[in-house]
Amino acid sequence: MDRFRYVGRLLAGERRAIAIQLSRSLASTCPEMPPCDFEPQPYTGPDYERTSSIRKAMLSPAILTYYSKPLLIHQGHMQWLFDERGRRYLDLFGGIVTVSVGHCHPKAVRALEEQAHKLWHTTNIYLHPKIHEYAEKLVAKLPGDLKVVYFVNSGSEANDLAMLMARMYTGRYDVVSLRGAFHGASPYLMGLTAISTWRYQSPTGFGVHQTANPDPFAGPWGGANCRDSPVQTVRSCGCTDGQCHASDMYLDQLDDVLKYSIPKAGLAAFFAESIQGVNGTVQFPKTFLKRAYELVRGKGGLCIADEVQTGFGRTGDHYWGFQGHNVQPDIVTMAKGMGNGFPLAAVVTTPQIAATMGTALHFNTFGGNPMSCAVGSAVLDIIEEENCQSLARDIGGYLLGELAKLRDEFEIVGDVRGKGLMIGIEMVKDKTSRKPLPIGDVNSIWEHCKDMGVLLGKGGLYSNVYRIKPPMCITRSDADFTIAVLKKAIRDHLEKK
């Protein structure tokens, strides 16, 4: 700080020269960012101070803002974001796992522009081609009898509707979810979400029960042979092929909830993400979800797969995350990457379950509007044409392997996990205790990554898990840059301690 105060006293010309010199010096010590030939447009909006004052005075104080000095993002292009000064950042969080095929992907933009010149909105009281064309393309991506789609606008709306649908179809009320789950923050869903930082002190969760979160790293059971991941935990494990003790123990917990907390009449539904997103990319022990579905169905409940973050090829090996667990859900909810950032979500189910909603009028004004369907249809095409799922598998697998080397090098990197481009890095005090790294340390590394041009998400109850969920267009060079930045940020932090 003393150096900058001194610079501030210099004449304008000298100040500018020294600032340039310092900037070049900093750049020379940072990993080199991969090239990009895209030039952002000049920024013409309100300046940074005015934008900050508007946010403080006129937007909800509940809106989470990243970084000690929040970024003012001006433009996006594929995996890159640009601030109001034109500085470029590699976006490894994808608008919270929402930008699936790239910021402002040209094909998606063209689809939106073409539709905007034809028809914005009629609601679905009339026939219009886009919703029908898109519905046919979307359900073709789903296995089995998942053939009826309800279009809505967000993941919370989708999970809201799925819960209502399950209760209507089964005639039962009680629902089970996992601790650590995030399914939305609406009043109806706040009880289904089981992360305390997302819950207000308000009556909620009527009829919702939670069971133990099957986390092989931070949970009471789990070890190095339990996870369906290219990278396993560092915990010791006595499990053998075809047998998982941790899975048995977590299933016992679910069985207890079903025995003691669910009425004899039975269960309405069980919700689970294929990989927990907001909770820090938590992966379950092998066979857990398949056997959980069997227990739930034994109680008469429907199985609901929340694919809001794991759908559309992100996990690499499969188009839908639930396929990696070898299960067939009764209802699937989806959003986020479905529209590549455009408001679009859906519930897909069987004709038998869908028929339940015909007992009363049900309507969503903007769900399935022509513009969102045009974008969603283009996204499906892009995923296929540009092999985004294969890219997620290959680049994600490479990233996981390189991140595992950081885990082996640094004691504070406790766990690396995920599949495809759904990756988490859990930061700890030490690998023996597995206690969360203090938030000040987590933020120090995180901010340093941002200063070097890499944007990471955070997750978990203690916000100690870095979340890597980029657009599915990143390159091997982007992955190498990410590893170099993370390594430098961690080393620099440890050297200051």
Residue 324 lies in a domain: yes
Q: Which helix or strand (DSSP H or E) is residue 331 part of?
A: strand 331-334
- Note whether 143 and 25 are same-domain residues: no
Structural domain includes residue 433 = yes
For helices 129-139 and 370-385, give the axis angle rounded to 10 degrees: 40
**Domain end residue (candidates: 330, 355, 385):** 385
Give the pLDDT of residue 28: 52
Where does residue 358 rank: exposed (0-12), middle (13-18), buried (19+ CB within 10 A)? exposed
> Do 258 and 398 reside in the same domain of the chain?
no
How many domains would you assign to the chain? 3
The CATH number linked to 185 is 3.40.640.10
Only one residue has tokens 């819950």, namely 199
Distance CA(156)–CA(149), nearest Å, equals 16
Residue 24 has what pLDDT? Answer: 44
Minimum mean pLDDT range among 181-185, 243-247, 290-294, 378-382: 243-247
Q: Is residue 102 part of a domain?
A: no
Residue 188 has pLDDT above 90, yes or no: no
Give the end of a domain, one of 385, 406, 438.
Answer: 385
Does the pLDDT value for residue 20 go beyond 70?
Answer: no
Q: Are residues 351 and 235 in the same domain?
A: yes
Average pLDDT over residues 110-117: 98
Helix (H/G/I), strand (E/B), else coil: 491: helix
At residue 26, the pLDDT reads 47
What is 416-474 written as a DSSP string? EEEETTEEEEEEBS-TTT-PBPPHHHHHHHHHHHHHTTEE-EEESTTS-EEEE---TT-
pTM higher than 0.75, yes or no?
yes
Residues spanned by the domain of 14? 1-30
**Is 394 among the domain residues?**
yes
241 and 340, same domain (yes or no):
yes
Strands 422-427 and 465-468: antiparallel
pLDDT at 236 over 90: no
CATH value at residue 43: 3.90.1150.10
For 36, list phi and psi in degrees, rounded to 5: -150, 125
Q: What band does 78 get if pLDDT is binned at 50, 70 and 90?
A: very high
Residues 237 and 308 in one domain: yes
- Please check whether residues 62 and 20 belong to one and the same domain: no
Q: 393 and 381: one domain?
A: no
**Higher-pLDDT residue of 420, 17:** 420
Is the pLDDT confidence value at 208 over 90?
yes
Is residue 399 domain-shared with residue 456, that is, in the same domain?
yes
Longest dimension (CA), the chain: 81
Window from 101-105, 219-223, 312-316 with minimum mean pLDDT: 219-223
Helix (H, G, I), strand (E, B) or coil at 240: strand
| Same domain, yes or no: 6 and 149 | no
150 in a domain, yes or no?
yes
* 445/410 same-domain check: yes
Q: For residue range 335-374, what is the model confidence (pLDDT) as tens digits? A: 999 999 999 999 999 999 999 988 888 889 999 999 999 9
| Residue 350: Cβ within 10 Å count | 17
Same structural domain, 431 and 445: yes
Same domain, 183 and 158: yes
pLDDT digit string, tens, across residues 412-469 = 999 999 999 999 999 999 999 999 999 999 999 999 999 999 999 999 999 999 999 9
Task: Indicate if the pLDDT at residue 409 is higher than 70.
Answer: yes
What is the percentage of the chain residues whose pLDDT exceeds 70? 94
Angle, helices 476-496/439-451, rounded to nearest 10 degrees: 130
Q: Flag whether 421 is in a domain.
A: yes
